[in-house]
Amino acid sequence: MILPQFPSAEQPEARRGTERTVSWPEQPEVLLARIAARAETVLLGKRDVITEALAAMLAGGHVLLEDVPGVGKTVLARAFARLLGGQFQRIQFTPDLLPADVVGGSVWDVRRGEFLFRPGPVMANIVLADELNRASPRTQSALLEVMEERRVTVDGETRKLPEPFILIATQNPLDCEGTYPLPEAQLDRFMMRLSVGYPDENEEVRMLEGMAEGTLPQPEQLRPVVLPEEWLRMRSEAARVHVQGELLAYAVRVAAATRRAPELALGASPRASRDWLRASQARAYMEGRGFVLPDDLLATAQPVLLHRLAARGVYGVPQAGGSEAALSRILSEVPLPSSAGRKAGRR
């Protein structure tokens, strides 16, 4: 893909610490902040969740939004689809959905007398998998190859997905009727699992006022802030943000500690360590830095690692809150490198 050539302007390589062959008309952190601000106009008071989801997508990962119905999970996904541009598809997952309804399949063309591949809705830049855990495990497994390898294999032929490709999935808590738990292999393919949560009372009043007056924008009214080609450039530059070797060793020590923790039955995988690194690089890039700070790792640790951990339980039932408590303990016990720069005190 040929990337657009932008007019020469300020050269921020020294400040950011990453190489650039062409300059931006506006600083990338300004564009990313604009995306977050516009997303907040349709999901009021949720800037932290918006920023975390944006960092995950900038790092090339997928996002799982898990919460009770009606808090704005689908609204947020639709807003990102509009702001990032590109082709958008929505898949409403139901118990009767089949894998071919997701990835596509071969259909018989009477005129040509042959089978032709009909692309499924997953062949898009941004895909919303709404209520993913309402589909059967067989249909859920259709996304395993899609999420990790960015391709689909149908009838023995492999086809690549368009770039960029981002999957934003929503799911209701497992105590809701008619849901199926996502397998560990699929959870591990989500870079972050986020919870939108109930709005603040003041923000909920603002939302109702906007709806009553007809001034609350809908996701479909948002205009793209960046083109897909620009988003790919940002993702490439974020992946080149510098990380000190001591911080890499710290991330590995934390991951190894989760694998040895007596209260955990399943620790963080090497894929989790990779995603943690990418998320911290993306967070630094969003703040206009060309280097990762320990705070970047600490800020992204829970949304990246927590959903990959499984707590031990009694009679096969995991202890409620056990994974979160174990991760908090490990983060407090594993020492940060003393020579790495800090912005704030340890959380």
CA distance 72 to 168: 13
The residue among 152, 151, 186 whose CA lies nearest residue 169 is: 186
pLDDT value for 194: 95
Question: Domains in the chain, ordered, with CATH?
Answer: 24-213 (3.40.50.300), 239-347 (1.10.8.80)
CA distance 102 to 154: 11
CA distance 43 to 204: 10
Mean pLDDT on 254-267? 94
Reading the block at residue 214, the tokens are: 């007809």
pLDDT value for 319: 63
Cβ partners under 8 Å of residue 5, min gap 6: 22
* Span of 20-24, 114-118, 247-251, 301-305 with lowest mean pLDDT: 20-24
Mean pLDDT on 271-300? 96
pLDDT value for 346: 43
Mean pLDDT on 257-262? 94
> Can you give the three-state secondary structure of the chain, one letter per residue?
CCCCCCCCCCCCHHHHCCCCCCCCCCCHHHHHHHHHHHHHCCCCCCHHHHHHHHHHHHCCCCEEEECCCCCCHHHHHHHHHHHCCCCEEEEECCCCCCCHHHHEEEEEECCCCEEEEEECCCCCCEEEEECHHHCCHHHHCCHHHHHHHCEEEECCEEEECCCCCEEEEEECCCCCCCCCCCCHHHHCCCCEEECCCCCCHHHHHHHHHHHHHCCCCCHHHCCCCCCHHHHHHHHHHHCCCECCHHHHHHHHHHHHHHHHCCCEEECCCHHHHHHHHHHHHHHHHHCCCCECCHHHHHHHHHHHHHHHCEECEECCEECCCHHHHHHHHHHHHCCCCCCCCCCCCCC
pLDDT value for 60: 95
pLDDT value for 6: 32
pLDDT value for 51: 96
Residue 184 pLDDT more than 70? yes
Mean pLDDT on 324-346? 78
The residue that leads in pLDDT, 178 or 265, is: 265
Q: Name the band, by pLDDT with cuts 50, 70 and 90, for residue 278.
A: very high
The amino acid present at 267, given as its one-letter code, is: G
pLDDT value for 33: 96
Q: Name the band, by pLDDT with cuts 50, 70 and 90, for residue 343.
A: low
Q: What is the mean pLDDT of the chain?
A: 86
Q: Give the total residue count for the chain.
A: 347
Residue 347 pLDDT more than 50? no
Do residues 197 and 71 lie in contact, with contact meaning Cβ atoms separated by under 8 Å?
yes
Q: Name the band, by pLDDT with cuts 50, 70 and 90, for residue 13.
A: very low
Do residues 139 and 169 lie in contact, with contact meaning Cβ atoms separated by under 8 Å?
no
Mean pLDDT on 277-300? 96
Q: CA 330, 246, 307, 283: dihedral to nearest 10 degrees?
A: 130
Residue 168 pLDDT more than 50? yes
* Span of 56-65, 220-229, 247-256, 319-328 with lowest mean pLDDT: 319-328
Reading the block at residue 150, the tokens are: 């960015």
CA distance 227 to 3: 10
pLDDT value for 155: 81
Mean pLDDT on 225-251? 95
CA distance 245 to 232: 26
Q: Name the band, by pLDDT with cuts 50, 70 and 90, for residue 176.
A: low
Other Cβ atoms closer than 10 A to 170: 23
